[in-house]
Structure 1
C-alpha cells in the first residue's frame, strides 16, 4: 500500500508525541482530574456501577481487573526496566549505581519512619508503605518541565533512584501486603516459574507467545495463592532472556517484550488505573479517630521525608567515602530531584488500595493526602529549581 508524504509526516508526528517522555505523566494528570470531577458529580453512581459492579468473572469486577491484572502487566514492564538496569544499565556498575541506590534506600526509610512515628499506636499502621514510593511517570514528567534548568545527568539519577525505589516497593508489597497464603497454588506457581526459567533452553527461537501463556498461568497461580498478583509481573520479567539478540533487530526477548508492552502500560494502563482509583469524594463529613495522623504521616513523609532521606543518606555516606557523588552534579541539584521523588501518586495509591481495602472512608482521606503531597511537592520543587537557577546556586558545590 502506497503511503503519501502527508500520511508519512502525520505518522512521524504521532510517533514523536507517543514517545514524548512527559506524556505518561500528563495522561495520569488528565485521568485524575476527570475522576475527581466525576466523583463530585451526579455521574458518581454510574462510575461505581462501571468499575465496582461490572463483573468480568464472578467476584472479579472491572476495578479488580485493573488493579490485579492490568497492573501486573505494568509491573512486568517495570521488572524489565529493573533487569535491564541491573544487567546492562546504571545498576550494572556498582560504583556508579551506589549513589542512587543509597539515595533510594534513604528515600524509603525516612518516610516510613515518619509515618510509623505518627501512627505507631493507631489502627492505621498498615499504611506505612504508602509514603515510601516514587511515581516514575509523574516524576519524569515533572523533570521534563524543568529539563532546561537541570543537568541531563540528573535525569539518569532520578530514573535509577525511581527504579530502585520501585524494586523496594515491590518487595514491601510481596512481604507485607499478602495474606492467607495458600500452599497448592504457590507450589504450582513455583513450578510455572521454573518452567519459564527453562523455556529459553527448550525454545531456542525464544518466541514471545510461550512466555505470555506461561506468564498468564503464573499470574493465575500467584492470584490464587494470596500473594498480591502484581508480583507475577516482576517474576516473569526475571525469567526473560537478555543475552541472545535477534540478528535483525539486535533486541533480546526481554527488550522485545518491553517494547511491545511499554506503550500500553504507560499510555493506557497507568491512566486507567488513575481514573479507576482517584474518584475521591471531597465532601468528607467525618474524620475517623486517628486519621489526622495518617494525613500528617503521608504528607510529611512524602514532602519532607523523601528529600530528607535522600540527602541525609547520600551526604553521610559520601563523607565517609562509601559512595561518591557524580562530579557534574551539585548537592543543591540532588535536593531538587529529591523533592521530585516525593511524588508518590500511582504506587502510593496502589499500596493504599491494598493496605486499607474495605475501609472506604479512610481510603478517601489517604488518597486526598497523596494528591495534596504531590501538589505541595511540585510547588516546592518548582520554587527551589527556579530560585536555584536565578541566584546560580548550582555553581556552588557545597
Structure 2
C-alpha cells in the first residue's frame, strides 16, 4: 500500500472503555521483510486489563496463604506433635446419612474445593462469552499452549511410570496452580506486562477446564446413574433461577448444596458440581450476575478454601523416612519431570511453533525469554495436582506421599528456574508498567488503552 506501510483501522465513536480493540489485540498487522505478520501478546482492552489486574491481586494473596498453609502443614507433620496433625486430618465429622460423614481432609477436598471449582466455572464462563476466549484467533495461542502444557507432562510421567504401579497417576503433573504461580510472580517482580499476565491467567483457566474433564472421566469411582439423574433437578432449578435474575443467596445456596450432595453420591467427583453450576450463571444481559458472584466468592475461595485444602493435603512426614527411596521412586521422578520439563516444553514449544506456522511475531516490548520464564511458571502445580494424586492412589498411601513430595519439589524447582529467567527482566517490566499506567488526561483510563497499538 503506497505511502502507508502500516495503516491503522478506523476508530469507532464509542467511549474508549467500550472500544473494541480486537483489531489490535493479538492480530495487529505489521510489515516485516515484505510480508504481513501478526503480533503475539499485544495489549488488549482497558476493561479486561483492569479486571485481570484486580483478579490477579486476589490470586496473589491467595497464593501466599496457600504457601503458608503448606509450610505450616509440613512443619506440624514433621514435628514431635505429628500425631495430633493426623488425628485432626482423619477425624470424621458430619451426619451419617447421604454419605456426609467424612474425614476433615475429605471435606476439604470434596467440599471446600467445590467452591474453588464454582469460581473456576464463573471464570470459564466469562472468558468464553465476553473475555479473551470469545475471539477464536485471540484464544488460539493460550488454548494451544494449555493443551500442550497438559499433554507433554502427562506423556513424560507416563513414559517414566510405564508398566509400574504408578501409571494411574499420569494426570498429576498436568495442572498449573494459578494462585501459587502468581504469588511467585509477585515476589520476583510484579511488573510483568499485562498481555503476558493475561496469557498466564487464560492458560490456567483452560488448564483447569482440561483438568476438570480428566477428573470427571478418569478419576470417578462407583458410578450411580440414579444419583446423577437426581442431580439434574437441583442443577436445572439453579440454572433457571440465575437466568431469571434470582439473587437470594439462601435459595441459590440450598440448590447448590443439593446438587453437590447428589453429585457426591453419584461417584463423579463432587467438585464437578461446582464448575457445572458456575457455567450456568449468566455473564451478560440484564440478569448478568457472574461478575458480582465472582467478586464476592473469590476471596473465600482463594483465601480460605484452597489454603485449607493445602493444609490437609501437604502434611507428609519426611522425618524418619528414606529420602533416597522417595526421590528415586518413579512416581516422584515422574511428577517432578512432568512439572519442570513437561510444562516448559509444552507451553513454550507450542507457542514458538504457533509463531512459526502463523508467521506471528512477539510484541516489540517482549522477548522469547519472557515467554520461556512464563512457561516455567506453568510448572508450579499444587491444588489440582494434589487432588488428582489423592484420587489416583488414595489419601495417606505411600504413593500419595511421594506425589506430595514430587509436587512440592517440582513446584519449587519451577519457581526457582522461573525466577532466574524473569528476574533479570524486572527492570524492563517496571518501565513498561509506568507506560501502561500513565494517565496524562486524568480520566481514569491509561493513555495506552486510548490509542491504536503501535504494533
State the TM bucket, normalised to the shorter chain: 0.7 to 0.9
Residue matched to 1:180: 222
Measured in 1, the distance between the counterparts of 2:106 and 2:286 equals: 36
Post-superposition offset of 1:378: 1.1
Matched, 1:126 2:163: no
Measured in 2, the distance between the counterparts of 1:30 and 1:204 equals: 39
Residue matched to 2:308: 272
Residue matched to 1:232: 273
Residue matched to 1:360: 397
Matched, 1:310 2:352: no
Counterpart of 2:132 in 1: which secondary structure? coil
> Is this contact kept in 2: 1:104–1:310, CA < 8 A?
yes
Measured in 2, the distance between the counterparts of 1:383 and 1:349 equals: 26
> Is this contact kept in 2: 1:83–1:238, CA < 8 A?
yes
1:313-324 maps to which residues of 2 (within 5 A)?
313-321=350-358
Distance 1:245 1:42, change over 3 A: farther
Count of aligned pairs: 372
Residue matched to 2:255: 214
Matched, 1:23 2:61: yes
Distance 1:210 1:174, change over 3 A: same
Distance 1:19 1:96, change over 3 A: closer
> Is this contact kept in 1: 2:189–2:426, CA < 8 A?
no
Measured in 1, the distance between the counterparts of 2:246 and 2:407 equals: 45
> Is this contact kept in 1: 2:189–2:423, CA < 8 A?
no
Segment drifting more, 235-244 vs 315-324 = 315-324
Counterpart of 1:210 in 2: which secondary structure? helix
Post-superposition offset of 1:191: 3.0
Measured in 1, the distance between the counterparts of 2:121 and 2:84 equals: 35
Task: Give the TM-score normalised by the residue count of structure 1.
Answer: 0.86
Measured in 2, the distance between the counterparts of 1:370 and 1:289 equals: 12
Residue matched to 2:22: none
Higher share of residues assigned helix: 1
Post-superposition offset of 1:285: 4.0
Measured in 2, the distance between the counterparts of 1:89 and 1:391 equals: 27
Post-superposition offset of 1:215: 1.1
Unaligned regions of 5+ residues in structure 2, if any? 1-53, 430-455
Distance 1:291 1:224, change over 3 A: farther
Distance 1:42 1:290, change over 3 A: closer
Measured in 1, the distance between the counterparts of 2:198 and 2:326 equals: 42
| CA RMSD of superposed structures (Å) | 2.7
Segment drifting more, 29-38 vs 185-194 = 185-194
Unaligned regions of 5+ residues in structure 1, if any? 1-15, 247-251, 393-398
> Is this contact kept in 2: 1:208–1:253, CA < 8 A?
no
> Is this contact kept in 2: 1:103–1:314, CA < 8 A?
yes
Q: Deviations over 1:182-223 (max 9, x none)?
A: 11001111233233333346x454444332221111101100
Measured in 2, the distance between the counterparts of 1:322 and 1:268 equals: 44
Measured in 2, the distance between the counterparts of 1:87 and 1:322 equals: 28
Residue matched to 1:336: 373
Residue matched to 1:6: none
Residue matched to 1:12: none
Measured in 1, the distance between the counterparts of 2:265 and 2:75 equals: 35
Post-superposition offset of 1:89: 1.1
Distance 1:115 1:149, change over 3 A: same
Segment drifting more, 149-158 vs 298-307 = 149-158
Residue matched to 2:317: 281
Post-superposition offset of 1:91: 1.0
Post-superposition offset of 1:328: 4.7
Counterpart of 2:354 in 1: which secondary structure? helix
Q: Give 1 or 2 for the bigger CA radius of gyration.
A: 2
Segment drifting more, 342-351 vs 53-62 = 53-62
Matched, 1:60 2:134: no
Post-superposition offset of 1:46: 1.4
1:1-398 maps to which residues of 2 (within 5 A)?
21-58=59-96, 59-148=101-190, 150-200=192-242, 203-245=244-286, 252-283=288-319, 284-285=321-322, 292-321=329-358, 328-358=365-395, 360-387=397-424
Distance 1:291 1:215, change over 3 A: farther
